[in-house]
Amino acid sequence: MRIDLSGKTALVTGSTQGIGRAIAATLADAGARVAINGRSADTVASTIAELQAESAEREFIAAPGDVTDQEGADAVLTATGDIDVLVNNLGIFGATDALEITDEEWRRYFDVNVLAAVRLIRATLPGMKSRGWGRILNIASDSAVVIPAEMIHYGMSKTALLAVSRGFAKDAAGTGVTVNSVLAGPTHTGGVETFVYELVDTALPWEEAQREFMRLHRPQSLLQRLIEPEEIANMVAYLASPLASATTGAAVRVDGGYIDSIVP
């Protein structure tokens, strides 16, 4: 099975680190021209330099801008040009006691994790439909289904993203454009390391802290470890490819067996 995205242009939001960076690298390795996005132009430039140092054959576009507002989104879209593959990866998360989540925080999580994706879908889907091909992938989370008690606002936003994906898939029906969400399980990123240490003893070495976090807070994981970003990226690359032409409106799991259900 060979994933070939030659001639395709992809935009991955929040791609200067973590899952987004791994997705960008994997799509570029498959032949796509990939727009790297982050709020800082300097960070975007340094990320591109590092990714190209790993493989000179990769092709990237610098697309800095804050996609959580219209002006920033417009700048990113202008830098990228026509988009064949849109990966809405940008997201925020954090632990807060349920009764202490303020109105402002509820709105912020919706704006960043949901509305930013909707804004970019609204801008790119018409062009994909007119060209008769496109892929839209929204990076959701196991938390969309298994709402964590320590971050209900995050779970809410990811559940909403599943609805967004299904709804826009219906809008794109019969056009050659697919829209899917990816249910990513607990994944090893820098941000997650910080989150883990918010919940377990900060004096523990990382490997012990990770095991303690999984034991106490994610015991239903069948993988019994954090997922690596590249493992999420592999699924995204498949769904972004022509090979996944019959998968749309789906919530595809890369969760390490965390979600306790047989049917997604």
Q: Where in the sequence numbering do the catalytic residues fall?
A: 154
Residue by residue, what is the 3-state secondary structure of 119-131?
HHHHHHHHHHHHH
Encode 100-114: b = buried (16+ Cβ within 10 Å), e = exposed.
ebeeeeeeebeebbb
Dist. CA 107–CA 126, nearest whole Å: 27
Contact criterion met (CB below 8 Å) for 231 and 244? no
**Strand order in 9-12's β-sheet?**
59-62, 33-36, 9-12, 85-88, 134-141, 177-184, 251-254
Alpha helices in the chain (DSSP H): 18-29, 41-54, 70-80, 103-110, 116-131, 152-171, 190-199, 206-217, 229-240
